[in-house]
Structure 1
Amino acid sequence: MSRPVSTYRLQLTPDLGFAQVAELAPYLRDLGVTHVYLSPVLQAVPGSRHGYDVTDHSRIREEFGGAAGFREMAERLAAHDLGVVVDIVPNHMNTVNDRFWSVLKDGPASPYAAWFDIHWVDGEVALPVLGDDVKPVVDGDVLRYHEHTFPYPGHYRLVDWREGPGYRRFFDVSTLIGLRVEDPAVLFATHEVIFWLLDEGLVDGLRVDHPDGLADPRGYLRRLRERTGGAWTVVEKILIGDERLPADWPCDGTTGYEVLNRVTGLFVDPSGAEPLVELFTEMTGRTEGYPAVVARAKRDVLDLFFRAEVNRLAAAASCPPEAVAELLAAMPVYRAYVVPGEPPPPESVEIVERAAASCPPHLQPAVQSLVQQVLYGPPEIVTRFQQACGPVMAKGVEDTALYRWYPLACLNEVGGEPDRFGLTPDEFHAYCALMRPHTMTTLSTHDTKRSEDVRARLAVLSEMPREWAVTVKEWSAALSFDPDLDYLAWQNLMAAWPISAERFADHLLKAAREAKTAISWVDPDPGYERRLREFAHAAVRLPVGEFTGRIDPFAMSNSLGAKLVQLMMPGVPDVYQGNETTDFSLVDPDNRRPVTYPRTPETSWDAAKLLVTGQALRLRRRLGGGGAHLPLRAEGEAAEHAVAFARGSADTPERPRAVAVATRLPVRLARRALVRTAAAPLGDGVGGGAVAEPDPAEDMRLGWGATTLTLPHGRWRDLLTGTVHTGRVPLGHLLGRYPVALLERHDL
């Protein structure tokens, strides 16, 4: 079993199965990755494009090639020195499966009743499917209602689809029922195939989906680690702000959203915060700050989606539902890490008590009673409350607030803090010093709101807010639709350019439904949706691409810089499918479109990104996993525009073997080289000043002036240009051809 040094994520679909993955082996090996990282492989709903709706844990998905196809794929990948990492889903499965059918038929007496997290009422479970005046029809030994089929008779009752189900579900998705993997028998039955793949050496590592939904994530990870013999394991855990993964969770780290947000922050200018927030307020009429928007959004989703969960907790805790809802809305993280029967960690006590203190005064007695039960009470209350925190955060923040408050949309990412503009190199290095050495890092995933290159373009706006304000107001004056949506639309249209009217319209429709200000998934408005599509078709005809083209030299610098930093910093870097070249995708399903291989450059940006990605991955493979992160600091007037660090190897972790250097805040760097007379300074939006000079790359090079970087002792070869450097190097020389440099020690 080999530990991954880097991974490449592929989204399996009925069109991209195991045979097609195997055919990519030579390409991926040449790219430099060590492991292919696959979306879920177990039997799922027929035609599923994501695989998180598992229906049978005992089978590898037939549409992909089944068990035989998986083995053949793994062997062909191994012949090219590539391992396999798989995504597993312990929290839930689709409700259309033989086990749940048995439970609906036989009730608590079913041998599978212990599999599912069910709230039985008089021996029945509520199923939220009813939606009109049509009556269910008995047809022999089944009950039919539209496309739904149930055993008849059975231990269930059909209720309105807007009601919560009588079982724990994944977020608000009633077709995904919660599993009780805290039961050892259930864990083994749902992981038997995964364990077989590990035992056979066909899989080297695991990505665990949504551990926050589990009753006991720490206990689950302990049992998983014991059974897998310590296989590399990362968890899809969203960490907020300075939150860290609990030290006692036995895994290698997370899937990297906290890294993604910090890397993005390196390329955001904090001086853009005030003017961009002012512009957002002017364009939308929204005057609330982000915390207030989050609080309102969480209360909205609690009322819309989670009344059943709130009422169940309230009944168990003998507490008013309003107090439960307010405490859930006030929780700032996805889980408080309280384990039933153990003293709560001081950090957990502080989180819950701080949340309680922000609840309304008239509810304080009830809230304080609930706090005691959440921290020290019966296992059911401790567990249920924590299992509810994740869905409320996900639906309230990720799927609502991030679509309502967006002064700079590159900050509106999963786990991000849109009101926190920028991260300094020193803050970045301090973060790297505390990272788990084998945690996953990423820039784009199947769940990101925007691809890394879309974010790279948006980050440029933080350096030129006045120019952006002039431009976006011109577009808005020519075409408007909904003040709650328009400004987000213009940011995404500019940053995803070129984009078809249909892709753009589909994205705006999802954004509007997620924002829930005019329409929602449960409250459509055909007239609004028709006008939205008309707006999208008209918007793509405006000269948006002219602005995008002017900022692209700076966006390219951000893109290459972020890519190099992510691939060379501590951790196991992941490349999402197709993102070794440029990708201007928006939120799913846009970012899950099929990818054509091999990736061939169509632009200079493509070529540079493919070069950086391949050279960095191959260097990481030579270095092996681990290795110290050693900050390097530029000297001179433009030093703030560089982020640089050295890396050791697995064999000699403290001895520098590689150096990565990236340009940050490129617009301000280019301004240093400009000698303006009648025209206005770059990006200030007055006097007709141009956004970019004819050769912005040259302006950036000249902007370094006399700023230098002193390399560690030895001879260093730039893998991007072939140039050899030693000692103190002028950054204008080191970064003369590309805005990044990747150096390998050349005298070993």
Structure 2
Amino acid sequence: MSDPTVSSASAAPAPAVAGPAAPRSTYRIQLTPDFGFADVAALAPYLRDLGVDHVYLSPILQADPPSRHGYDVTDHSRIREEFGGIDGLRAMAATLAGHGIGIVVDIVPNHMTVPVPEPGNPALWSVLKEGRASPYGRWFDIDWSDGRVAMPVLGDDVEPAPDGDVLRYHDHVFPLPDTHYRLVDWRQGPGYRRFFDVSSLIGLRVEDPEVFEATHEVILGLVREGLVQGLRVDHPDGLADPRGYLARLRRESGVWTVAEKILVGEERLPADWDCDGTTGYDVLNRITGLFVDPAGAEPLTELFTARTGVPRDYAEVVRRSKRHVIDLFFRAEVDRLNALLGADRETLVELLVAMPVYRAYVVPGEPVPAASAAIVEEAGKIAAAHLPEGAPVEEVVEKVLNGPPEAVVRFQQLCGPVMAKGVEDTALYRWYPLSCLNEVGGEPDRFGGTVAAFHDFCRELQPGTMTTLSTHDTKRSEDVRARLAVLSEIPEEWAAAVADWSDRVSFDPSLDHLAWQNLMAAWPISEERFFEYLFKAAREAKTAISWATPDPAYEKGLRDFVHRAIEECGESVARFAARIEPHARSNSLSQKLVQLMLPGVPDVYWGNEITDFSLVDPDNRRPVDFALRRRMLAGEVEGASDWDAAKLAVTREALNLRRRLDPALPYVPMEAGEHAVAFARGDRAVAVVTRLPVGLERRGGWGDEMLTLPPGSWHDLLSGVRHTGRISLGHLLATRPVALLERE
């Protein structure tokens, strides 16, 4: 492949400097061909009144025209026509600015799409036609070892056929003569670095200054024009040099920037990255854990293993899942890397399987950071336990840390895809005692956490990092997770319900238990939505079917299961959801207020200012009923659920309060007992929320528990009541499970 080794200049650590001003809040908008710039502009008055500071747009560069997500960019030189083009963007920006709202844009530096038909990506078409002599020959991370790039499109049915000056194969189109590419079986790895296992997304070489300039010219032009005030960087771990990329991006843009970095466990964002923080999955998982009862771990795990037959040891499931995806998807990548290392292939595979994080951040030509070395060396010890005695583990570890520069980089780039596909898209669909914990970057065997640990985590949050509860990539929306968290407090009641439903309807033991959790937590849900979710879950789990190995008989059986589950158990599922609703509502409002008031930049995923019971994409990208939300905010909707009205009130009051607060106000934990979490933001605001509400109810309520407020008079923005000094939690939380206090 093209040499991804970075220059010493780009590898040099950037000096620590104060970041630019961050938004007070963001509101994520999922642009689609049906919802473009004009539609966003029309929301300006609503978003202003809700308290939104900046809209945070999904990718805006020209993508495959039907795309409903925008991460499949085809042309970096144009704003997407389906959204309204550059004129529509400028008009939208002017309208938003008139309401005091700025714009943050999601950018995709790691890859472009390989569209069908292929001429839809002019740069790639040029490379397919002219090879390395193309003006775009340096753009793509291609294996030119035999002078041609392998394109995995062929099936077992027909042969490609010439048609004038092109070669056609079904909907695919390639240039003739076919001197600079070769068509191979679609199951074969491509001759280019791709995004995870997605062969329709081809890796870019933004470490090359010319490629960076060409692919960022339009976005940086929007920044210089004053239309864009912030950037969200998609998947930086896929780049040859994430640190160097972020440093250059900051130099060129000078705006608030967050990186979609997935942190696992106690991992923290690399200190030398020139950005303001992450996109918030680390915060999301910590908040979810706050509302999960650790006492539920043993009974829920026992129930799960008994129902599914899956091993209790999550680490073993992860190991098998990562090994599976390497064999299924990444053989070509492993072979290329192994050829560079000149190492033992099986040892390399086991090292990749044992890596616990998405990347260890080793830069060729620099001393290996101690933390990075420790991660890889520990992975080597784990790998050795699964290899024959005498396997060259130490040799392979040494080579991936200090070997040929290209090999060091490619090992880093391969760790992320193996983690993403092995854990996010396989293990999390195989091991799920309590699926609200099965989130991106989550650890589903880690049930809950202490309030003290949560406070310690929040003290470290930087004012510029993003916080979130739902995104376009979350496996379940925040309110689905709020319902599921209740199960940790009622495992026996849940086990009885599952036994009842399973006695009536069953299909696949490895999937049924996931089905019941999500049917209840997303209720009410249509048969089609529920089927699409389970069908995707089954393919991701890869235990019965996969994306590459369809089975019509299994699909039919799954459809029958979905129909019968809703038809025969729907009433009972609805009763269960209604039974836990007060507790789920408490979790929902509490996690929302915590997220919105923590240090950082709170993001609201579109529509989630009221309840949303969406599952994994594309379910969570469905259109949002903004007309309803506008009427609710204006107080014009009668009959809205108490949960919806309360969540909207929490969101509105918290976002508007954030506009009045200094983002740098410190996080100050407050003593509040087992069933409450309370903290102050400096001496200006206090948030108090309920946790583990079932347990609170069992003990008879708040009793004589008290909370001591900081000095001054405090106004509860949600109830209108004023408080001072030492107050009863029962009084403070008499009407809602949360309180938001502002000092007068």
Partner secondary structure for residue 399 of structure 1:
helix
Could you tell me which of 392, 404, 410 is aligned with 2:430? Answer: 404
Question: Given the alignment of the two structures, is residue 559 of structure 1 paired with residue 588 of structure 2, yes or no?
Answer: yes
Could you tell me which of 202, 210, 215 is aligned with 2:240? Answer: 215
Could you tell me which of 647, 652, 655 is aligned with 1:617? Answer: 655
Question: Given the alignment of the two structures, is residue 374 of structure 1 paired with residue 400 of structure 2, yes or no?
Answer: yes
**Residues 453, 582 of structure 1: 8 Å contact kept:** yes
Which letter does structure 1 place at the counterpart of 2:726? Answer: R
TM-score (normalizing by structure 2)? 0.94
Equivalence map 1:100-115=2 (5 Å): 100-115=124-139
Question: Given the alignment of the two structures, is residue 191 of structure 1 paired with residue 216 of structure 2, yes or no?
Answer: yes
Q: Deviations over 1:161-184 (max 9, x none)?
A: 011000000011111100000011
1:587 corresponds to: 616
Once the two structures are TM-superposed, the CA of residue 95 in structure 1 deviates from its matched residue by 2.0
Structure 1 distance, partners of 2:363, 2:686, is: 43
Which letter does structure 2 place at the counterpart of 1:159? Answer: V
**Residues 210, 237 of structure 1: 8 Å contact kept:** yes
Partner secondary structure for residue 727 of structure 1:
strand
2:87 corresponds to: 68
2:8 corresponds to: none
Could you tell me which of 614, 618, 626 is aligned with 1:597? Answer: 626
Q: Deviations over 1:133-177 (max 9, x none)?
A: 311111121111111101111311111101100000001111110
Q: Deviations over 1:225-279 (max 9, x none)?
A: 11112x1000011000000000000100000001000000000000000000000
TM-score (normalizing by structure 1)? 0.93
Could you tell me which of 323, 332, 343 is aligned with 1:319? Answer: 343
Question: Given the alignment of the two structures, is residue 640 of structure 1 paired with residue 655 of structure 2, yes or no?
Answer: no
Could you tell me which of 448, 454, 470 is aligned with 1:444? Answer: 470
Question: Given the alignment of the two structures, is residue 730 of structure 1 paired with residue 728 of structure 2, yes or no?
Answer: yes
Equivalence map 1:23-62=2 (5 Å): 23-62=42-81
1:167 corresponds to: 192
Question: Given the alignment of the two structures, is residue 658 of structure 1 paired with residue 685 of structure 2, yes or no?
Answer: yes
Equivalence map 1:543-558=2 (5 Å): 543-558=572-587
Structure 2 distance, partners of 1:165, 1:8, is: 37
Which letter does structure 2 place at the counterpart of 1:180? Answer: R
Could you tell me which of 437, 461, 468 is aligned with 2:487? Answer: 461
2:3 corresponds to: none
**Residues 117, 178 of structure 1: 8 Å contact kept:** yes
Partner secondary structure for residue 523 of structure 1:
coil
1:676 corresponds to: none
Partner secondary structure for residue 252 of structure 1:
coil
Partner secondary structure for residue 76 of structure 1:
helix
Which letter does structure 1 place at the counterpart of 2:136? Answer: Y
**Residues 347, 391 of structure 2: 8 Å contact kept:** no
1:570 corresponds to: 599
**Residues 347, 387 of structure 2: 8 Å contact kept:** no
When structure 1 is superposed on structure 2, of 361-370 and 237-246 the one drifting more is 361-370
* Percent of pairs with identical residues: 70
Which letter does structure 1 place at the counterpart of 2:100? Answer: D
Question: Given the alignment of the two structures, is residue 501 of structure 1 paired with residue 538 of structure 2, yes or no?
Answer: no
1:14 corresponds to: 33
Could you tell me which of 151, 170, 176 is aligned with 2:201? Answer: 176
Once the two structures are TM-superposed, the CA of residue 363 in structure 1 deviates from its matched residue by 6.8
Once the two structures are TM-superposed, the CA of residue 368 in structure 1 deviates from its matched residue by 2.0
Structure 1 distance, partners of 2:45, 2:389, is: 62
2:176 corresponds to: 152
Structure 2 distance, partners of 1:517, 1:68, is: 49
Structure 2 distance, partners of 1:197, 1:314, is: 42
**Residues 44, 95 of structure 2: 8 Å contact kept:** yes
Q: Deviations over 1:377-402 (max 9, x none)?
A: 12101100010011110000000000
Number of aligned residue pairs: 705
Once the two structures are TM-superposed, the CA of residue 40 in structure 1 deviates from its matched residue by 0.1
Structure 2 distance, partners of 1:145, 1:386, is: 35
Partner secondary structure for residue 201 of structure 2:
strand
Which letter does structure 1 place at the counterpart of 2:382? Answer: S
1:688 corresponds to: none
1:386 corresponds to: 412
Structure 2 distance, partners of 1:364, 1:234, is: 44
Once the two structures are TM-superposed, the CA of residue 628 in structure 1 deviates from its matched residue by 0.6
**Over aligned residues, Cα RMSD in angstroms?**
1.0
Structure 1 distance, partners of 2:338, 2:718, is: 60
Structure 1 distance, partners of 2:231, 2:90, is: 17
Partner secondary structure for residue 587 of structure 2:
helix
Structure 2 distance, partners of 1:178, 1:252, is: 25
Q: Deviations over 1:510-529 (max 9, x none)?
A: 00000000000000110110
**Residues 410, 450 of structure 1: 8 Å contact kept:** yes
1:259 corresponds to: 283
Once the two structures are TM-superposed, the CA of residue 364 in structure 1 deviates from its matched residue by 5.5
Structure 2 distance, partners of 1:51, 1:364, is: 48
Which segments of 5 or more consecutive residues in structure 2 lack a partner in the other structure?
Answer: 1-19, 116-120
**Residues 442, 566 of structure 1: 8 Å contact kept:** yes
Q: Deviations over 1:674-731 (max 9, x none)?
A: xxxxxxxxxxxxxxxxxxxxxxxxxxxxx10000000000000000010000000100
Structure 2 distance, partners of 1:117, 1:364, is: 35
Once the two structures are TM-superposed, the CA of residue 2 in structure 1 deviates from its matched residue by 5.6
